[in-house]
Amino acid sequence: MSAEKTNQSWGGRFSEPVDAFVARFTASVEFDKRLYRHDIMGSIAHATMLAEAGVLTLEERDAIESGLREIQAEIEAGTFEWRVDLEDVHMNIEARLTDRIGVTGKKLHTGRSRNDQVATDIRLWLRDEIDLILAEITRLQQGLLEQAEREAETIMPGFTHLQTAQPVTFGHHLLAWFEMLSRDYERLVDCRKRTNRMPLGSAALAGTTYPIQRETTCRLLGFEAVGGNSLDGVSDRDFAIEFCAAASLAMMHLSRFSEELVLWTGLLTLMKGQPLAYNKDNQEDKEPLFDAADTLRDSLRAFADMIPAIKPKTAIMREAALRGFSTATDLADYLVRKGLPFRDCHEIVGHAVKYGVETGKDLAEMSLDELRRFSDQIEQDVFAVLTLEGSVNARDHIGGTAPAQVRAAVLRGKQLLATR
């Protein structure tokens, strides 16, 4: 039997060499080799636990740990040879370990299976990815807070159905993105809790007869809890699906932000169930999971780098806010406060806007006599609410667009980030 054949995980189960095409088809090493660091981390913890349990000697544990660290150095130096015939990252590392330290390398797999090994590696990897992504979200939010504070009084048009609705401040608009990212942050923190549970010790699906100490491995790897069921331990990918869902929401938020940047800059031509326990299908979880994490982290990094470079053209934004009778709602609210029924106020404002369209005048540009043609309840104090500044300042409540509220929201945001 060839050396390549004996190195495969199924060892002596077949009398004929496995066809090269089948080997390539079943191999996952081309994408799961990025798990190498977490695979080595898990193996060192597993060897440490086996030594404490008396399954390995201290000398064997030290040889395994030293060999694994040397292999990690090879991988990071780019001198490690990844072999497709060894299927995956786990077998590649184990085979190289055996080459380096001899038969002791084969003892590393005692009390575990590739099923619980890969489930552990993915969780360790995703835990680190979530931490990196959370850091990028925080960096992006810090940039938004800084911009919002600078632009707390910069007026721009607010839109509904892509039509000018009411004036808002640019700072207030930026804080909407801060809120979306806060929800993304919370979702990922919550996802991390369920990711950070250890399946190692589940073995193939039913546990192991060796005297393993799962609590020890759990502590060494920084997991919050030991998985409670071996079948679930090797087959669960809820955490990966949950992460991809959270990543999709975060990317949707960045997509909305991108769409607004497109609209603001005028570039409108831009196009824009399996049974228990482990099954081969579980191997297909890695590529979309890796891609989701890479795409989200890289996108957040790009946005965080971009935010400080955004420079609003305040004069143009103000002119845009003056178009479209954006203070019409303020006139209606003014009349309601005078005691008129809302429906009547709505009709009055409609007539005033029609007149403005005919004469080319915004509501704030009309004289008091012109405005009183539509209601004798209108007095000189109406102009305090018809100006853009009056309109935004009137929204002086939590979550409102008033500059004072924008600054208060920025302060709350800074306090939130300081607790992370």
268 and 389 assigned to the same domain: no
pLDDT digits (tens, 9 = 90+) for 302-324: 999 999 998 988 998 888 888 88
174 and 262 assigned to the same domain: yes
Count structural domains, the chain. 3
The enclosing domain of 141 has a CATH number of: 1.20.200.10
pLDDT digits (tens, 9 = 90+) for 110-139: 999 999 999 999 999 999 999 999 999 999
For residue 216, the tally of other CB atoms under 10 A from its CB is: 16
SS percent in the chain: helix, strand, coil, step 5: 70, 5, 25
237 and 96 assigned to the same domain: no
Cα-based distances in Å from 171 to 41, 246, 404: 45, 26, 11
Within 13 Å and on the Cβ side, how many CA atoms surround 55? Answer: 19
Q: What is the pLDDT of residue 263?
A: 77
Residue 281 pLDDT > 70, yes or no? Answer: no
327 and 305 assigned to the same domain: no
The enclosing domain of 396 has a CATH number of: 1.10.40.30
Q: What is the pLDDT of residue 8?
A: 54
Does any domain span residue 334? yes
317 vs 239, more confident: 239
Please, what is the average pLDDT of the chain? 89
271 vs 302, more confident: 302
Cα-based distances in Å from 379 to 328, 333, 340, 349: 16, 14, 14, 15
Does any domain span residue 217? no
50 and 123 assigned to the same domain: no
pLDDT digits (tens, 9 = 90+) for 209-223: 999 999 999 999 999
Domain-terminating residue out of 65, 87, 110 = 110
- Is the separation of the CB atoms in 352 and 363 below 8 Å? yes
23 and 106 assigned to the same domain: yes
Residue 3 burial (CB < 10 Å; 0-12/13-18/19+)?
A: exposed
172 and 275 assigned to the same domain: yes
118 vs 276, more confident: 118
Locate the DSSP E strands across 208-366: 225-226
Q: What is the pLDDT of residue 96?
A: 97
358 and 298 assigned to the same domain: no
β-pair partners for 267: none
For residue 113, the tally of other CB atoms under 10 A from its CB is: 20
Does any domain span residue 7? no
Does any domain span residue 130? yes
Domain-terminating residue out of 110, 140, 157 = 110
DSSP H helices, 10-113, are 20-26, 29-32, 36-52, 58-77, 89-101
305 and 320 assigned to the same domain: no
pTM of the model: 0.83
Give the angle 243-246-249 at the CA atoms, nearest 5°.
Answer: 150
Does any domain span residue 163? yes
- Nearest partner of 266 among 315, 320, 322, judged by Cα: 320
Q: What is the pLDDT of residue 25?
A: 57
Does any domain span residue 271? yes
Does any domain span residue 220? no
251 and 182 assigned to the same domain: yes
Say how far residue 154 (Cα) sits from the centre of its chain.
30
277 and 361 assigned to the same domain: no
- 20 pLDDT band, cuts 50/70/90, is low
The enclosing domain of 81 has a CATH number of: 1.10.275.10
Q: Longest C-alpha distance within the chain, in Å?
A: 102
Range of the domain at 258: 116-202+231-312
- Nearest partner of 354 among 320, 321, 328, judged by Cα: 328
Domain-terminating residue out of 246, 279, 312 = 312
Does any domain span residue 10? no
395 and 321 assigned to the same domain: yes
- Nearest partner of 304 among 213, 162, 156, 417, judged by Cα: 417
